[in-house]
Chains A and B, each alone.
Chain A
Amino acid sequence: MNVSEIRFATAAELALALRKRRVSAVELARAVLDLLERLGPSYNAVAALMPDRALDEAARADRALARKDGGPLTGIPYGAKDLLAARGAPTTWGAPPYRDQIIDEDATTVVRLGRAGAVLAAKLAMVELAGGGGYRYPSASLQGPGRNPWNRERWSGGSSSGSAAALGGGLVPFAIGSETSGSIGTPSAYCGITGLRPTYGLVSRKGAMALSWTLDKLGPMARNAEDCATVLEAIAGGDRADPTTSGRRFRALAGRAAVSAARRARIGFAEEDVAEHASPEAKRALEKGVAEFRRVAPGFSRVALPVLPFGPMVQTVYGAEGAEIFAELIEGPRFEELVDARQKSGLRAALDIKARDYLHAMRLRARLQDAFAEIFGKVDAILSVGRAITATPLTQPLDSPPSTASAGPPPNKRPGNIGLIPAGNLAGLPAIFFPCGLATDGLPVGLQLVGPPFSEPLLVALASAYQRETDHHTKRPRD
């Protein structure tokens, strides 16, 4: 198997090649390390390469494969967002004040992937502190702006910027990202990859940087929904070291059950998400994507989120929690080392969020959960755009016009479900983001599906059904 065959292969394809001895895990690890080293800098995707660890884990995987042991991730290389602690490299959280931080332990997710035989090849770049202060520029990262593999003058999205760029550029077959409000979804949509945000509490966050105790989730990013499911199965589950885990596991629906569940699923949709909110470049591809999806799961009906101030709610929650988490940094001598001036002013101001406002936002979250429960009495999943726009230019301020996922809808348009990213995160709901075509500017666009808590099996079945009928997820950018 040569490098060009390896480069955009799925984890499932690589697993098959390993079992058929078309490639060894060590050869695979060397190829991925080489890709990351050669092409990673073009996208500012890599925080740290981990050759020693990767080759050691790959050799172990080869021994397991020789014994005919192991599972679908044995010998598969991956990258982890640099907010996950992992032995063998610094854990910088994308932020200059932490550039030399060594956390001499593995996050639970890294441990579980190791047990599944996966090979950690690199820590991947991210927006500093996952962008908790509200950054203005894509350059808000120790590693520089995440460059989009489809157009390097465009942003790869944040805050899992390196995870998405490395996948979109074909450098790793899967990666781990995190989402507080949009940090898996936005980069997945911008880079044309598939990302899965699990239900709050399905995946342990032990060893992951905290931005918001009540919002943060870790999840897989991959080439398709099937690979996301394989990774999620390995990392989901209770963890005594993270008391917020639910103890639930994840198992994908098998063959016929998955097809049947997708076909029978009741899909909620609001046409204004595309008709009124899509940018002129993105609109046609999004319309086509929705029409294709309707052929896969024809049971559409209209649902729309309740009108609540999702942006202020989510910003107040992660602002207050993040400011408390990083209070020592904010009030200490290294704070000024952060890259983005708006991020700094946002973090400072967040220290003064009043308790009553944080608590009010939390009470509104409970109302939102009730509203979602009512919606999910009528539909099994909500379909919306991943993002209504394509990746923004690297030089464009993200707050003018607002292009981060926590921004509210424009006041002159029907809101529909355009606030689904902050709303879904506030309610702790799972989501899957998957590509549905290319916009007129040549950049990817995608859709998202959100379901009730622990509905990941259905979301994966739906996205997989769509990906069996379409080839958008197989498109590759030119170098």
Chain B
Amino acid sequence: MAAPVAAEERSIDDPVRLAEEARENTHKAATELRSQRVPIEIEPPTVFRANVER
């Protein structure tokens, strides 16, 4: 039988917990973004533009 999962005892505003959550969120966002492939074969050139006035 699996051991019961310990209840989260830290406050939702505990700084250590918040730091862990923020890192997890960044990681989760990166994973979601990377799952969307942008095909380089047909991708238009990047959007950087020279400043013609200078």
Do A and B associate with each other? yes
Interface centre among B18, B23, B44 (most CB of A within 10 A): B18
Residue of B nearest to A397 (CB): B12
CB–CB A313/B26 < 8 A = no
Residues on A with C-beta less than 8 A from B51 are 243
CB–CB B22/A366 < 8 A = no
Residue A123 lies at the interface, judged by CB distance under 8 Å to chain B: no
- B38 smallest CB distance to A (angstroms): 5
Residues on A with C-beta less than 8 A from B23 are 349, 352
CB–CB A360/B34 < 8 A = yes
CB–CB B18/A357 < 8 A = no
Residues on B with C-beta less than 8 A from A316 are 29-30, 33
Residue of B nearest to A316 (CB): B29
CB–CB B34/A345 < 8 A = no
**Residue in A243, A350, A352, A360 whose beta carbon sits within 8 Å of that of B38 in the complex:** A360
With contact pairs A341-B15, A345-B19, A349-B19 given, residues A360 and B33 touching in the complex (Cβ less than 8 Å): yes
Residues on A with C-beta less than 8 A from B30 are 312, 316, 353-354, 357
Interface size, chain B (Cβ < 8 Å): 23
**Residue in A243, A350, A361, A366 whose beta carbon sits within 8 Å of that of B26 in the complex:** A350
With contact pairs A345-B19, A349-B23, A352-B26 given, residues A357 and B34 touching in the complex (Cβ less than 8 Å): yes
Residues on A with C-beta less than 8 A from B26 are 319, 349-350, 352-353
- A305 smallest CB distance to B (angstroms): 14
CB–CB A361/B33 < 8 A = yes
- A314 smallest CB distance to B (angstroms): 10
Give the residues from 379 to 426 in chain A that come closer than 8 angstroms, CB to CB, to chain B: 397, 400
CB–CB B29/A345 < 8 A = no
**Residue in B12, B25, B29 whose beta carbon sits within 8 Å of that of A357 in the complex:** B29
**Residue in B12, B25, B38 whose beta carbon sits within 8 Å of that of A363 in the complex:** B38
How far is A319 from B27 in the complex, measured between Cα atoms in Å?
Answer: 13
Residues on B with C-beta less than 8 A from A303 are none
> Which 9 A-B residue pairs are closest in the complex by CB-CB distance?
A349-B22, A312-B29, A345-B18, A345-B22, A309-B32, A312-B32, A357-B30, A363-B38, A345-B19
